Chains A and B, each alone.
Chain A
Amino acid sequence: MPRFTKSCVLTWVAWLLSLPLAAQQLEIHFLNVGQGDAAIIQEGGHTAIIDAGPSGIGVFLTTFHIDTIDLVIASHPHADHIGGMPELLQSHVVRFYLDNGIPHTTAIYRRTLDAVRASGAQYLNATNRTITLGAAQLHVLAPPPNTTINNGSVGILIEYGQFRALFTGDSEQEELRYWLASGAVPHVNVLKVAHHGSPNGTSETWIATTKPQAAVISVGAGNSYGHPSPVVIAAWENAGARVYRTDSDGTVFVVANEDGSFVITTDRAESNGVVRFQPFEQDSAVSPAAPVEAESPACCRVCSAGKACGNSCIARDRQCHKPAGCACNAKP
């Protein structure tokens, strides 16, 4: 019987912890918060949130059992993006908070600033920098100087191996041109359509450069602003993107692998309604949108240690309270 010294065991544990987790995946939830934006990004036990919608984000955080948030990003200080911030900051541990640094005059903005200060979160400026979230990199795309609030939206390019997703808040033509000119915008797998699908948040050059396989529009049903524009939806679809919208699809759930493949399901999809996307050829002239293939049923994740519950895995001894989703139990 071999004897293990304490230091030997500690070395072994440290080695185990250093091994990559084979089943690790990046998850992005585009939340159905009505007319506004909110998204949760999770990788390797780390959580980031981009925008908090007009209100009600707490329900989602409870559903996903999130109590500590590593990074909160406010793309810009309009109420449909930061309305839920005071509640979020008061009820959760937030380690870092990043915004576009443009002051605003509304009471919602002031409460958000007060809540950031009271939370003790470390403030981050929206400079061109990279924030590592587990195995994912969040590249901050700084907005142009001296501009409007929408055109001052913080851009976030997520890279997870070969997979890329792009968030640009409510950016309009000026900011899209600024980023295109900087050369910082690549071809991406998933794109959040800017400004809730308004015509001023999309351009031909923007579509041609980003060429996403899936375009997500975060929008409220029956809003007063005509969002999203049918012309914008058609433009993304004509470019080969599969368009999702939170008003009709509910929350949109993306699970990505480092090889660039990913699956998408939604709140209102059939229980087997998972769409699988294959990786596109990196930096290829071939359209990335073509390899979209619908497979059903498919699993967005396979639960081996725990059991399937909705779109995620939970411990075997816990009771599942979610409706059927895209997670599957591993075959014995």
Chain B
Amino acid sequence: MKYAFYAVDRLEGTIAVLVSDSGATVQMPRVELPTGLREGAVLRVRFSAQNLPDWSSAVIDRQEEERRLREAKQMLDEMKRSDPGGDIKL
């Protein structure tokens, strides 16, 4: 069974904007996705025999969300430490 991850990029009213791991954006009505969805949540979605995402199978994967945030935060913290501080003249 093939699965893929979609991260919730943002919520715009009744629409959830998702980003696949290939970088493609998909708009989905929020009512068709698991309840309790929020920005940054990561959905694990099963693919059908036709190789299409089966949105009814979508579940929120908190571990994957935490892993991504942890990695991003590590990278950010490293970059933040390199900031020379103060005003900058270009």
Contact = CB atoms under 8 A, between A and B. Distances in A.
Q: Say whether A associates with B.
A: yes
Interface of A: 46, 48, 54, 70-71, 78-80, 83, 95-96, 101, 103-111, 113, 116-117, 122-125, 127, 129-134, 148-150, 224-226
B90 interface: yes
Contacts of A127: 85
Interface in B1-19: 7-10, 12-13, 15, 17, 19
Contacts of A150: 10
Contacts of A125: 80, 83
Contact of B15 (A70, A80, A224): A224
A226 B88 CA distance: 39
B10 A78 contact: yes
A79 B19 contact: yes
B interface secondary structure, majority: mixed
A176 to B, nearest CB: 18
Nearest to A200: B13
20 contacts: A79-B17, A96-B90, A101-B76, A103-B69, A104-B9, A105-B7, A105-B42, A105-B72, A106-B19, A107-B19, A107-B20, A109-B72, A113-B75, A116-B79, A117-B79, A123-B82, A127-B85, A131-B87, A132-B90, A224-B27
Q: Which 6 residue pairs spanning A and B have beta carbons closest together?
A: A103-B72, A123-B79, A106-B19, A105-B68, A70-B90, A225-B12
A79 B39 CA distance: 12
B15 A117 contact: no
Most-contacted residue by chain A among B23, B82, B85 (CB, 10 A):
B23
Nearest to B41: A105
Contacts of B71: 110
Given A95-B90, A131-B87, A148-B39, A108 B79 contact: no
A80 B12 CA distance: 12
Interface centre among A107, A134, A149 (most CB of B within 10 A): A107
B53 interface: no
A193 to B, nearest CB: 16
Given A130-B87, A132-B90, A105 B65 contact: yes
